[in-house]
Structure 1
Amino acid sequence: MPTDHPHHEQLLTPREVAEIFGVRTTTIARWTREGKLTPLRTPGGHRRYRWDTVVRLLAQDTTSDEAEDERQWAEDAARLYDQGWSIRQVAEKFDCGYGVMRRALRTRVALRNRGGTYTGEDST
């Protein structure tokens, strides 16, 4: 990409990068730990990513990684729920909404009601 491109110096937040790739912000954090992305740090310690770095990574084939990420994410969430975590706690851990997590868990485990027993519609 030429250096005179308007986005060349643009810095993106982890959420913006996640939206570009269609993944969760936790995936962006993992990619950073794995060295796929290198962040700059703001004076406040927040991560920012260079536009040109994101574009280069986007050009690589990441579709199989994304599918594996989603499968692993759902398995990890189900494991925590089976260990007694609430849906809300699991959703906060994976940085997603309650409804998204509830739907993801419902496809993998029988959901408990507030009293800790399993509901009739979700048990198999």
Structure 2
Amino acid sequence: MPFSDDDLMTPREVAATLGVRASTVALWARLGFLKPAVRTPGGHRRYFRGDVLAFRDDRRSREPDPADEEMMRDAVRLYQQGWSIRRVAEEFGLGYGRMRRILLTRTTLRDR
């Protein structure tokens, strides 16, 4: 059965489609990056498949920002100089988890 753009998706389905956690989906919706969810009579959030797919395609088509690339290189350099992930994250105003994911994609993390 083909999918329609008007099909409703649960936050978990949206998260799986976008490759993130359901809590990230809720955050993006609150911040306005993702179109707001509709509520079921029971109060559960649902997202339109067309909105989710458009958001996913838009994220994929964006060019990386040169300033972000420079920040990431600087973050890796500081981490490799012995700074903790938490300290690097604070330096750039990011959360620990986000900085850890950035560093994971660009360098080998030290053992705890």
The alignment status of 1:53 with 2:51, answered yes or no, reads yes
The amino acid that maps onto 2:59 is: D
RMSD of aligned Cα (Å):
3.0
Summarize the alignment of residues 1-124 of structure 1 with structure 2, pairs less than 5 Å apart: 6-37=3-34, 38-61=36-59, 72=95, 74=97, 110=112
Unaligned runs of 5+ in 2: 65-71, 73-93, 100-108
Return the alpha-carbon distance in structure 1 between the equivalents of residues 29 and 95 of structure 2: 17
Count of residue correspondences: 72
Unaligned runs of 5+ in 1: 77-106, 111-124
How far is 1:11 from its partner? 0.3
How far is 1:108 from its partner? 7.5
In structure 2, the CA distance between the partners of 1:56 and 1:73, relative to structure 1 (3 Å rule), is farther
SS in structure 2 of the partner of residue 52 of structure 1: helix
Indicate the structure with greater helix content: 2
Please give the TM-score of this superposition, normalised by the length of structure 2: 0.52
Identity, % of aligned pairs?
Answer: 38
How far is 1:109 from its partner? 8.1
The Cα offsets for residues 31-63 of structure 1, whole Å up to 9 and x where unpaired, read as: 011012210000011100001101110111258
- Is the 2:5–2:51 Cα contact (8 Å) retained in structure 1? no
In structure 2, the CA distance between the partners of 1:109 and 1:29, relative to structure 1 (3 Å rule), is farther
Please give the TM-score of this superposition, normalised by the length of structure 1: 0.47
The Cα offsets for residues 78-102 of structure 1, whole Å up to 9 and x where unpaired, read as: xxxxxxxxxxxxxxxxxxxxxxxxx
